[in-house]
């Protein structure tokens, strides 16, 4: 924009940029009966909110966005832990364990799977095993 500009034009341009950013992707991710709303960082199962810590939610969202890919514990640690302190090695294991308990309590068991020696994953929609 070249000066001088009208305030209405500035507002219109900002509105367009915001709309482009949020129209680009759907903020809802559905995994079976589980629904993640990435816009408000909320997990629901059958319209019931699942209370997750920020770290647990970050892990669940990252696994959901990378569905079908095995994600290492180190990658999940980077996603879930954003402080300067060095976390202990089992932080991801504890967060995944707590996440699984909360999902199971809500009725959505076995969403997060483990590939022993490699990491964690959420299966693709059509790959559910019997």
In a domain, 16, yes or no: no
17 located within any domain: no
**Does 31 fall in a domain?**
yes
CB 84 within 8 A of CB 26: no
Q: Which residues pair with 45 in a beta bridge?
A: 34, 48
Looking at the structure of the chain, the number of domains it has is 1
In a domain, 115, yes or no: yes
In the chain, the percentage of residues whose pLDDT exceeds 70 is 84
pLDDT digits (tens, 9 = 90+) for 50-90: 999 999 999 999 999 899 999 998 889 888 876 666 777 78
33 within some domain:
yes
| Residue 3 domain flag | no
Which range marks the domain in which residue 36 is found?
26-125
Here the CATH number for the domain that contains residue 48 is: 1.10.10.10
- CA-wise closest residue to 123 among 107, 104, 110, 105: 110
């Amino acid at each position: 924009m070249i000066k001088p500009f009208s305030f209405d034009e500035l507002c219109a341009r900002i509105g367009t940029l915001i709309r482009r950013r949020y129209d680009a992707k759907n903020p809802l991710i559905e995994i079976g009966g589980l629904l993640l709303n990435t816009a408000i960082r909320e997990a629901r199962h059958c319209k019931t909110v699942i209370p997750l810590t920020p770290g647990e939610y970050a892990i669940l969202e990252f696994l959901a966005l990378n569905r079908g890919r095995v994600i290492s514990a180190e990658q999940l640690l980077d996603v879930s832990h954003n402080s300067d302190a060095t976390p202990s090695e089992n932080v991801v294991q504890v967060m995944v364990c707590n996440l699984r308990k909360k999902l199971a309590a809500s009725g959505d068991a076995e969403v997060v799977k483990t590939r022993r020696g490699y990491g964690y994953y959420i299966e693709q929609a059509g790959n559910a095993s019997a």
